[in-house]
A and B are shown apart, each in its own frame.
Chain A
Amino acid sequence: MKNRLSRLAVPYVIWMALFVVAPIVMIVVYAFTSAEGGFTLANFSRMGLYGVVFFRSFKLALIATAICLVIGYPVSYMMSKEGPKFQRVAMVLIMLPMWINFLLRTYSWMSILENNGLLNQFFQKIGLIGLCNALFGTNLDYFPMMNTQGAVVLGMVYNYLPFMILPIYSVIVKLDGSLIEAARDLGANGLSVFRRVILPLSLPGVLSGITMVFVPSVSTFAISKMLGGGTELLLGDLIEQQFLGGAYNPQLGAAISLVMMVIVVVCMVVMNRFGEGEEQAVML
Chain B
Amino acid sequence: MSKELIRLRNICMAFDDELVLNNINLYINDKEFLTLLGPSGCGKTTTLRMIGGFTTPTSGDVLFDGVRINDVPPHQRQINTVFQKYALFPHLNVFENIAFGLRMQRRPDPSDPRKKTKIPEEEIRERVMEMLEIISLKGFENRRPDALSGGQQQRVAIARALVNRPKVLLLDEPLGALDLKLRKDMQIELKRIQQQVGITFIYVTHDQEEALTMSDTIVVMDKGSIQQIGTPEDIYNEPKNAFVADFIGESNIIDGLMVQDKLVQMYGRQFPCLDGGFAPGEPVDVVIRPEDIDIVPVEQGQLTGTVTSVTFKGMQYDIIVDFKGFKWLIQTTDHSPEGARIGIKIDPDGIHVMKKSQYSGMFGDYSSFSDEYDELDDASLALDEEESGDEE
Chain B, 85-126, contact with A by CB distance < 8 Å: what is the 0/1 string?
A: 101111100000000110011000000000000000000000
Which residues does chain A contribute within 8 Å of B305, judged by CB atoms?
Answer: none
> Separation in Å of the B176 CB from the closest CB of chain A?
14
Which residues does chain A contribute within 8 Å of B160, judged by CB atoms?
Answer: 182, 186
Contact status A185-B80, CB under 8 Å:
yes
Select one of A192, A196, A281 contacting B90, CB under 8 A: A281
A residues in contact (CB < 8 Å) with B: 176, 178-179, 181-189, 192, 196-197, 200-201, 277-278, 280-282, 284
B164 at the A interface (CB under 8 A): yes
In the complex with contacts A181-B87, A284-B90, A196-B100 CB distance below 8 A:
yes
Q: How many residues of B contact A (CB 8 A)?
A: 26
A-B contact pairs, 22 of them (CB 8 A): A178-B83, A178-B87, A179-B89, A182-B87, A182-B89, A184-B54, A185-B75, A185-B80, A185-B161, A186-B80, A186-B100, A186-B101, A187-B75, A187-B104, A187-B105, A187-B164, A196-B100, A197-B89, A201-B91, A277-B91, A278-B91, A284-B146
CA distance A161 to B79 in the complex (A): 43
In the complex with contacts A176-B87, A187-B75, A201-B91, A182-B81 CB distance below 8 A:
yes
Which residues does chain B contribute within 8 Å of A282, judged by CB atoms?
Answer: 90-91
CA distance A28 to B160 in the complex (A): 55
Which residues does chain A contribute within 8 Å of B74, judged by CB atoms?
Answer: 181, 184-185
B residues in contact (CB < 8 Å) with A: 52, 54, 73-75, 79-81, 83-85, 87-91, 100-101, 104-105, 144-146, 160-161, 164
Which residues does chain A contribute within 8 Å of B83, judged by CB atoms?
Answer: 178, 181-182
Which residues does chain B contribute within 8 Å of A182, judged by CB atoms?
Answer: 81, 83, 87-89, 160
Which residues does chain A contribute within 8 Å of B90, judged by CB atoms?
Answer: 179, 201, 281-282, 284
In the complex with contacts A185-B81, A186-B164, A189-B75, A200-B100 CB distance below 8 A:
no
Which residues does chain B contribute within 8 Å of A188, judged by CB atoms?
Answer: 75, 100, 104
Which residues does chain B contribute within 8 Å of A189, judged by CB atoms?
Answer: 75
CA distance A119 to B144 in the complex (A): 54
> Separation in Å of the A186 CB from the closest CB of chain B?
4
- CB closest chain-A residue, reference B157: A182
Which residues does chain A contribute within 8 Å of B89, judged by CB atoms?
Answer: 179, 182-183, 197
